[in-house]
Structure 1
């Protein structure tokens, strides 16, 4: 199989949901489903293996911010790209604050749009890799954690913290490293990290039978079975 044939085959595997009630967006190179209603997205997102969601910012009957928030707040680990003709800085900030992963101007060349889609899908596929450590599992596609085959009820930050520990099993992680990963800044008080770790420990092991997260005094924390 030649490179072009391989690339075409790969792009056809990228299952893209396009949310567009104005019928403006076409991406024939990808496996696409165009929907115009929010409730149709809800049905698709629970029943299909979706690689990417592409949203037309200038929707007539749907709120793009509500759609993005629904996807991200419900823990779906699916990249969201917004296409817009409005490049106003304030609008772009609102889009990213809602949880959008990337923005593309409608003026952008189609080949660049294709390249961006492939890049972000590839990046998310790496992030979504499942991790299994004895009886603790991370299911990347659904962004869920299982302990003894039961789903752990974790907050967004608890999930981020546990995933960072699982990716760095048996390594000492400094407080500064964890704070920068979870809060993306260093101004957060260390007490916030202490509280988060205590909550996470209790949710994984309420009876404290097995100390999975240990304090390494003067250095940070280590996650080990």
Structure 2
């Protein structure tokens, strides 16, 4: 099953290490950055499902970076949870004005943090209690390892299932072959980039049997995108 990916942006090393440990123990894939510049570099290379963003960062503040992200089309819908030591009601209002999805005041319990993350991911459509992802008439059930269009079940290999699962949890976004290899196959496995092309062709052939091959789109010079719209 493809894990949800969380980017932790926190300048205090001890807190950053604690958050990474908590997230990994909860089953998430986690990346870390110490400031907005490092965080942007991660985003440029790695698709993430949610950002844990500290308010007070060196250089550009977390609040300001979050505000900038919301102005970019690619990140307008990316869930953000703001972490801060500020506890006053006025500061919370300012946090939501930035466009964040939730707000947590330090100190907080790891259990509450994970619960908040899962709630935000569910609201954003990236996580469901039943392990199901639904896009249009397509439904993927991660727990039962089933992929269907309407009432018809598609027969796909385990690798193709992971690939379509990743695409369905990140619709309308373009990913390079390298990004897909990292997210679906894993960074510890060496596989040639053309392997991605092979599995894309297989998935398209399967989808074509149901008249849906247009869902997997090639973006020339960049990579691939999964979208319900042409």
TM-score after normalising by structure 1: 0.50
